[in-house]
């Protein structure tokens, strides 16, 4: 694991790559999700997610970060693609597949939510008020988004739990 400026570059690379996956996956899930409220929420979160990506790219560029994908990002991206594909293929006949995609997307948001305070503290330690302010703003936005997505996921779980059981041949 790198240290110093290389560590900061690594953190920005990871955050940029995760944010790109959030944007792409959010767009796909916003059309495939069987719950109207979730589709609407995902569409409403897109502009903020795109602005956050621009911010990450801007500050990341100061350290040479461009969104390099390492093991954690590759694993999360692979999982997201796999569950999204199943959700789109199964559609309304198996809503639990969309539930899984929703849950993985929420995990991506939480990954960003966990990274924002570290970026804020690094910025404060480096006396970079602009970056610290941006990290605080991103943390607030991610807190709100994860809360909303989490509540929607819980409601979705109740919906699926109350469906008649499928008959396996």
* Mean pLDDT, the chain cut into blocks of 10 residues (169 residues total): 89 96 97 94 98 97 95 96 91 85 97 93 95 96 98 95 70
Note down the domain range covering 34.
5-161
What pLDDT shows up at residue 168?
A: 47
Distance CA 88, CA 92 (A): 9
Distant-in-sequence, close-in-space partners of 91: CB < 8 Å, separation ≥ 6: 32, 34
What pLDDT shows up at residue 167?
A: 52
What pLDDT shows up at residue 169?
A: 44
What pLDDT shows up at residue 165?
A: 77
Rg value, the chain, Cα: 17
- Domain assignment of residue 80, yes or no: yes
- Domain assignment of residue 166, yes or no: no
- Domain assignment of residue 151, yes or no: yes
What pLDDT shows up at residue 89?
A: 86
Distance CA 160, CA 99 (A): 9
Four-residue CA torsion sign, 50, 55, 58, 60:
negative
- Domain assignment of residue 92, yes or no: yes
Instruction: Report the number of distinct structural domains present in the chain.
Output: 1
Give me the CATH number covering residue 84: 1.20.1260.10
pTM of the model: 0.93
């Amino acid at each position: 694991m790198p240290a110093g400026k290389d560590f900061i570059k690594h953190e920005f690379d990871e955050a940029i790559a995760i944010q790109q996956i959030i944007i792409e996956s959010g767009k796909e899930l916003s059309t495939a999700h069987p719950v109207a409220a979730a589709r609407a929420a995902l569409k409403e979160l897109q502009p903020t997610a795109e602005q956050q990506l621009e911010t990450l790219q801007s500050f990341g560029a100061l350290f040479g970060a461009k969104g390099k994908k390492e093991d954690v990002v590759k694993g999360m991206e692979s999982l997201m693609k796999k569950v999204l594909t199943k959700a789109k293929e199964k559609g309304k006949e198996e809503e639990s597949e969309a539930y899984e995609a929703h849950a993985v997307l929420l995990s991506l948001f939480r990954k960003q939510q966990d990274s924002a305070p570290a970026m804020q503290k690094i910025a404060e330690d480096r006396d970079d008020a602009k970056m610290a302010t941006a990290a605080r703003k991103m943390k607030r936005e991610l807190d709100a988004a994860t809360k909303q997505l989490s509540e929607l996921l819980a409601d979705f779980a109740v919906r699926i739990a109350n469906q008649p059981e499928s008959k396996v041949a």
